[in-house]
């Protein structure tokens, strides 16, 4: 068993050395008094020329966790975040909820208020906050959303604790873990630590399906008259996207992306049935006789539309029952508990053995014709908004889609209309976590840029999401770490989702009939573009639809050629027929 002996002076130094050995690239942090030994350890790292993990100062915890989220999305490698005791943990919980619901592994750590009071140990309490910041159960505020939590208690357990955290974060279904680090433990003297290197805690093991369930699912799909595939997060694996293409080709099955979090299927494929957002009417769901749900927590809204009682529902995912959700009552006639990347090629082969080629060919042509008709309708709708003021969401989305290049990564928090800015392939667009922790896109875009420095990164956000994303902290971090990206704000001066929910719950109520919606209004006069200028960035306010294409080109030039961040504050309004999310 290969081992490595780390020559160190403190537990904090040993901790950073261990993270480096375990492949952690970045240490995102918003520091407090609990970081004293970590700061000292990084100073030694700098003296010794160690470049990983790289200390990344992020002056807000929500942004720091979101950066780790974005970095993982583009690299597939989990990263470490450290925050300040209870208060820092509280600021980061919203982003941890987002990571939990999208199965993104994060090593989320926090200092712990010093335990001792008498000064007999280095790191003991020595300022007033060390009493008021202590909690009976610091991890209790996020335990529901992490896979594991623990506190480092002794230097001897350092390797075991860190490896346990990382193995559980990366075990399927993946997710964040939480580790607290008491100040006295980090400050303890330690001359050396011998560890296994590489670690003997491998978790990579494919989850294969029950063969009988594959055959049963194939039988139902092959015999279906109106089959439908629904997915939201299959695209977290590029191999799974290829598998879904093979299955769609095998049976000419339409594929619907339901509030997608990833790019799940090629938008130019004849089987691509479009993107579903909450306000749209999609009759194919109610008409389907067999529905294959793949990596999708909410495949339809039962209060609005659902498959018929006699329809077959097949659920395919590593955890097709979403066991971490308190309630989820979707039917499951055929469960396929497996990785989609593994199961889909098997399912495609089983379907091919059963289908009638003539039926498949006819259905493919019908899907192609329907897709062509949809695209013509979408094109007319976007063109009709070309002269609207405020700028229409569809026109704004078309302009953005036309400005983006194949190297671009889009981080979309609700407003971008995928019909007019279809992503070119897997890994080019990431959508909001269904947990709805608002403000996610700004930090995630920063992390994506850090993980893919040669790519252009664009965040598309609403005005409310921009505010929630702690923009001063985001722009400061972008300036500090030289991470230029473009933010496009769809500024409609409203909490649109709140107004829509009020109309849906009370369609004939006082708010709807009087067209007065208290608590939903923001300000279109807000000059958000001024914030980025305070951090050396480029900011523009755009109100004329004819000026938007050139404004986008200017902003992208600033990002790509000048290496500066940019913000476009687009004053807009959603027009009839544009999906809402």
Question: Mean pLDDT across the stretch 191-208?
Answer: 93
User: What pLDDT was estimated at residue 539?
Assistant: 98
Per CATH, the architecture of 211-373 is what? 3-Layer(aba) Sandwich (3.40)
Say which residues have a Cβ less than 8 Å from residue 546's Cβ, sequence separation at least 6: 386, 387
Dihedral sign, CA of 230, 234, 238, 239? negative
Is 391's pLDDT higher than 60?
Answer: yes
Side-chain-side CA neighbours of 564 within 13 Å: the count stands at: 15
Residue 59: predicted pLDDT: 97
pLDDT for 264 equals 98
Whole-number percent of the chain with pLDDT over 70: 98
How many Å apart are CA 522 and CA 489, to the nearest integer? Answer: 13
Domain ranges of the chain: 3-196, 211-373, 385-573
H/E stretch holding 255 reads strand 255-258
pLDDT at 581: 35
Quick check: 575 pLDDT over 90? no
The rounded mean pLDDT for the chain is 95
Phi, psi angle pair for 275, to nearest 5°: -115, 130
CA distances from 438 to 13, 245, 428 (A): 35, 32, 21
Architecture of domain 385-573: 3-Layer(aba) Sandwich (3.40)
3-196 in CATH: which number?
A: 3.40.50.970
% pLDDT > 90, the chain: 94
Total-model pTM: 0.96
Give the alpha-carbon dihedral of 411, 413, 414, 416, to 10 degrees: -30
pLDDT at residue 576, as a whole number: 63
Q: How far apart are CA 250 and CA 354, in angstroms?
A: 10
Q: Residue 280: its pLDDT value, please?
A: 60
pLDDT of 529 higher than 80: yes
DSSP of 16-43, one letter per residue?
A: HHHHHHTT--EEEE---GGGHHHHHHHH
How do residues 103-158 score in pLDDT, each as one tens digit?
Answer: 999 999 999 999 999 989 999 999 999 999 999 999 999 999 999 999 999 999 99
The whole-number average pLDDT for the span 265-288 is 86
Beta bridge partners of 81: 28, 108
pLDDT, average across residues 467-476? 98
Q: In the structure, what pLDDT confidence band is assigned to residue 524 with cuts at 50, 70 and 90? A: confident
The pLDDT value recorded for residue 484 is 98
Stated as kind and residue range, the H or E segment containing 392 is: strand 391-392
pLDDT category at 414 given cuts 50, 70, 90 is confident
pLDDT band at 1 (very low <50, low <70, confident <90, very high): confident
Same fold, 3-196 and 385-573: yes
Of 565, 487, 412, 481, nearest to 26 by C-alpha is 481
Report the C-alpha gap between 538 and 512 in whole angstroms.
Answer: 40
Q: How far apart are CA 492 and CA 495, in angstroms?
A: 8
What 159-163 contacts at long range (C-beta under 8 Å, 24+ apart), as own/partner pairs, is 159/18, 159/193, 159/195, 159/196, 159/199, 162/15, 162/18, 162/19, 162/22, 163/22, 163/199, 163/201
Q: How far from each other are the two terminal CA atoms of the chain, in whole angstroms?
A: 52
Over residues 66-94, the mean pLDDT reads 98
pLDDT confidence of 167, banded at 50, 70, 90? very high
């Amino acid at each position: 068993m290969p081992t490595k002996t780390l020559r160190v002076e403190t537990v904090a130094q040993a901790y950073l050395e261990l993270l480096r050995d375990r492949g952690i690239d970045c240490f995102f942090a918003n520091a407090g008094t609990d970081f004293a030994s970590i700061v000292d350890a990084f100073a030694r790292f700098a003296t010794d020329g160690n470049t990983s993990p790289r200390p990344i100062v992020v002056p807000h915890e929500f942004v720091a966790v979101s950066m780790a989220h974005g970095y993982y999305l583009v690299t597939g490698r989990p990263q470490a975040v450290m925050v300040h005791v209870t208060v820092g943990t509280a600021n980061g919980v919203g982003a941890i909820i987002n990571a939990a619901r999208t199965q993104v592994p994060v090593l989320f750590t926090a200092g712990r208020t010093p335990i001792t009071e008498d000064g007999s140990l280095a790191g003991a309490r020595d300022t007033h906050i060390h009493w008021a910041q202590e909690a009976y159960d610091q991890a209790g505020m996020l335990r529901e959303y992490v896979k594991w939590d623990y506190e480092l208690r002794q230097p001897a357990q350092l390797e075991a604790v860190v490896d346990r955290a990382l193995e559980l974060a990366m075990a399927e279904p993946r997710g964040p873990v939480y580790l607290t680090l008491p100040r006295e433990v980090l400050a303890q003297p330690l001359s050396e630590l011998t560890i296994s290197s590489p670690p003997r805690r491998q978790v990579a093991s494919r989850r294969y399906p029950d063969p009988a369930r594959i055959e049963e699912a194939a039988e139902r799909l092959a015999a279906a008259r109106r089959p439908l595939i629904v997915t939201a997060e299959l695209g977290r694996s590029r191999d799974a996207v290829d598998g879904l293409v093979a299955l769609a080709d095998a049976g000419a099955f339409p594929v619907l992306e339901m509030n997608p979090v990833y790019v799940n299927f090629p938008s130019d494929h004849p089987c691509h049935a479009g993107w579903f957002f909450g306000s749209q009417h999609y009759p194919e769901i109610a008409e389907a006789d067999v529905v294959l749900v793949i990596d999708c927590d909410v495949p339809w809204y039962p209060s609005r539309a659902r498959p018929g009682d006699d329809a077959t529902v097949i659920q395919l995912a590593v955890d097709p029952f979403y066991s971490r959700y308190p309630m989820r009552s979707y039917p499951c006639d055929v469960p396929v508990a497996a990785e989609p990347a593994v199961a889909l090629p098997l399912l495609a082969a089983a379907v091919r053995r059963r289908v009638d080629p003539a039926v498949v060919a006819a259905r493919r042509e019908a899907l192609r014709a329907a897709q062509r008709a949809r695209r013509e309708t979408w094109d007319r709708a976007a063109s009709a908004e070309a002269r609207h003021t405020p700028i229409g969401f569809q026109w704004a989305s078309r302009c953005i889609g036309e400005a983006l290049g194949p190297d671009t990564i889009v981080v979309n928090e609700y407003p971008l209309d995928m019909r007019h800015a279809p992503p070119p392939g897997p890994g080019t667009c990431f959508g909001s976590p269904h947990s709805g922790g608002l403000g996610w896109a700004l930090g995630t875009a920063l992390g994506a840029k850090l993980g893919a420095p040669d790519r252009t990164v664009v965040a598309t956000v609403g005005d409310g999401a921009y505010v929630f994303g702690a923009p001063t902290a985001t722009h400061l971090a972008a300036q500090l770490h030289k991470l230029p990206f473009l933010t496009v704000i769809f500024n409609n001066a409203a909490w649109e989702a709140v107004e829509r929910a009020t109309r849906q719950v009370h369609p004939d109520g006082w708010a709807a009939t009087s067209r007065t919606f208290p608590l939903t209004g923001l300000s279109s006069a807000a000059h958000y573009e001024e914030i980025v200028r305070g951090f050396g960035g480029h900011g523009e306010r755009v109100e004329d639809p004819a000026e938007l294409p050139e404004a986008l080109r200017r902003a992208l030039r600033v990002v790509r050629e000048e290496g500066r961040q940019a913000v476009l504050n687009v004053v807009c309004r959603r027009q009839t027929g544009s999906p809402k999310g």
